[in-house]
């Protein structure tokens, strides 16, 4: 069978199908909206969804500074008191969004002669494999950006094909004490440097003080709701209701499902939210929270003891004597708390406009050439994109990282859970 080639129409169908399949399989797709540039001043109108997508202009650059307006605050003026000189000043802030090339490819089995391949048919045969791969890793990229500031191919070293951006811990790190005498969260002063020893040390110190007991329950949810005004995280407006998606680790879910108050409340709710597709797959609601369980998004972090001050949710390192591991070193293994069988589980709380995605191109099929595989034909897919948490600054940042000036619209909720 001679090669048929790919017409423009064929490519459009294949690439469109690939993008639709990836979107369908992505856990985070339901939380995504599109930011739109205004014609009058080219500023952006945000979607109000937890995740905003931005189209990059074809300037050849890998970074875009998005201007945003800060919220007005303070008290108004009474009566005829003159406001001139004392009114609220409109302040512009900037969010940094990056894009970089990410690609995946597979070699077709038992095919060595490119001249005998119908490439259109081959692409359709292997579309499922590539769409699964993209959806799986893009879910990880979004979660990584909530925890560490950016998606992986943005923080990878330049020598490895990344952009070398520094990881930035989420400033809203909530640690639930969870014992009978202190059912509340302990927080930290915001800092955005991933390598600041004092910040990591402070988080680990709080982790070590958590009660050694499964402690994700209705008390945790009540404490989290009470903390929202302090964090100034704004909810997502869905049908006139302000909601906050909360993604739990399965160990946190197991603890919550043993809570009688939670069980009774879900029975009374009677399937709240089932009429809206964004609620598909939720495990229940509590106040303003819609709860989901996802092991790919919510994480069990690796950490060293307080002498090492190591926090890492994704790329674990074997350090003998400090971490109990259940498998060989790899990206997805579990890590237990030092000196205990308990694990620190980290859930993700999403407010509106809490995540940005820059897009320069959609996912596109590529036929691999001989430099990649010799005489073996391969099919690849690639996309220019990047995720970034919506930390906003009062100046253009360039290559520097300084304290953010607007409140981050997400939080990490840490609790202690038993893996058994």
Copy the structure tokens of residue 32.
């995504």
Residue range 8-71+92-164+354-393 in CATH 2.30.29: no
Copy the structure tokens of residue 264.
């009774």
DSSP letter assigned to residue 54: E
Q: Tens digits of per-residue pLDDT, 202-219? A: 787 788 777 777 789 999
Contact assessment for residue 49 and residue 352, using Cβ atoms and an 8 Å cutoff: yes
pLDDT tens, the chain, 420 aa long: 444 567 788 888 888 999 999 989 999 999 999 988 877 666 788 889 999 999 887 666 888 888 777 666 666 667 776 666 555 566 677 788 899 998 888 877 665 555 556 778 888 888 888 898 899 888 989 999 999 889 999 998 999 889 998 888 888 889 888 776 777 887 765 555 545 566 777 787 788 777 777 789 999 999 999 999 888 899 999 888 899 999 999 999 999 999 899 988 887 655 545 566 677 788 898 999 999 999 888 988 876 655 666 777 876 554 444 444 444 444 444 454 545 567 788 999 999 999 999 999 888 888 765 554 455 567 888 899 999 998 876 554 443 445 557 788 999 999 988 877
Mean pLDDT of the chain: 78
Residue with tokens 């997400």: 410
Q: What are phi and psi of 296, to 5 degrees?
A: -80, -30
Residue with tokens 């229940």: 284
Which among 390, 38, 26 has a CA at the least distance from the CA of 192? 390
Residue with tokens 């409340």: 265
DSSP letter assigned to residue 299: B
DSSP labels for 31-46? GEEE-EE-TTT-PEEP
Which among 47, 17, 15, 13 has a CA at the least distance from the CA of 30? 47
- pTM summary value: 0.86
Contact assessment for residue 4 and residue 118, using Cβ atoms and an 8 Å cutoff: yes
Distances (CA, A) of 258 to 31, 215, 255, 417: 28, 10, 6, 13
The b-or-e profile of 173-208 (16+ CB within 10 A means b, else e) is bbbbbbeeeebbbbbbebbbbbeeeebbebbbebbb
Percentage of the chain beyond pLDDT 90 is: 24
Distances (CA, A) of 405 to 48, 51, 145, 191: 20, 20, 19, 11
CA gap 99, 102 in Å, rounded: 9
Distances (CA, A) of 27 to 31, 88, 142, 256, 295: 9, 40, 10, 21, 11
Residue boundaries of the structural domains of the chain: 8-71+92-164+354-393, 173-353+409-417
CA gap 179, 213 in Å, rounded: 8
DSSP labels for 242-301? EEEEEEEPHHHHHHHTT-HHHHHHHHHHTSTTTTSGGGTT--EEETTEEEEE-TTTSB--
């Amino acid at each position: 069978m001679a090669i048929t080639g790919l017409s423009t129409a064929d490519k459009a169908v294949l690439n469109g199908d690939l993008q639709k399949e990836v979107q369908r399989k992505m856990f985070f797709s339901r939380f995504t909206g599109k930011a739109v540039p205004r014609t009058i001043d080219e500023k952006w109108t945000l979607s109000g969804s937890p995740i905003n997508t931005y189209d990059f202009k074809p300037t050849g650059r890998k970074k875009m500074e998005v201007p945003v307006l800060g919220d007005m605050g303070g008290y108004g003026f009474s009566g005829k008191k003159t406001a001139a000189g004392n009114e609220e000043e409109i302040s512009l802030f900037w969010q940094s969004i990056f894009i970089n090339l990410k690609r995946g490819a597979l070699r077709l089995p038992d095919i060595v002669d490119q001249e005998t391949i119908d490439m259109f048919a081959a692409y359709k045969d292997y579309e499922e494999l590539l769409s699964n791969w993209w959806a799986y890793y893009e879910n990880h990229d979004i979660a990584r950006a909530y925890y560490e500031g950016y998606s992986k191919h943005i923080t990878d070293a330049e020598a490895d094909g990344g952009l070398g951006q520094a990881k930035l811990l989420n400033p809203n790190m909530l640690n639930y004490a969870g014992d009978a005498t202190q059912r509340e969260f302990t927080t930290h002063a915001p800092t955005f440097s991933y390598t600041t020893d004092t910040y990591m040390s402070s988080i680990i110190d709080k982790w070590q003080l958590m009660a050694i007991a499964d402690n994700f329950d209705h008390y945790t949810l009540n404490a989290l709701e009470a903390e929202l005004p302090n964090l100034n995280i704004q909810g997502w407006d869905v049908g006139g209701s302000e909601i906050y998606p909360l993604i739990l680790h399965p160990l946190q879910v197991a603890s919550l499902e043993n809570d009688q108050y939670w069980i009774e409340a879900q029975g009374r709710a009677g399937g709240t939210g089932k009429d809206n597709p964004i609620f598909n797959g939720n495990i229940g609601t509590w106040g303003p929270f819609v709860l989901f369980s996802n092991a790919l998004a919510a994480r069990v972090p690796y950490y060293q003891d307080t002498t090492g001050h190591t926090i890492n949710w994704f790329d674990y390192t074997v350090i003998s004597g400090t971490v109990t591991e259940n498998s060989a070193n790899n990206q997805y293994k579990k890590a237990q708390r030092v000196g205990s069988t308990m694990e620190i589980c980290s859930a993700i709380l999403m407010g509106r406009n809490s995540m940005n995605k820059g897009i320069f191109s959609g996912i596109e099929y590529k036929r691999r050439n001989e430099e990649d595989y010799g005489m073996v034909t391969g099919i690849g897919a690639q996309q220019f994109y990047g995720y970034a948490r919506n930390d906003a600054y009062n100046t253009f940042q360039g290559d520097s990282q300084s304290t953010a000036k607007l409140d981050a619209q997400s939080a990490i909720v840490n609790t202690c859970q038993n893996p058994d």
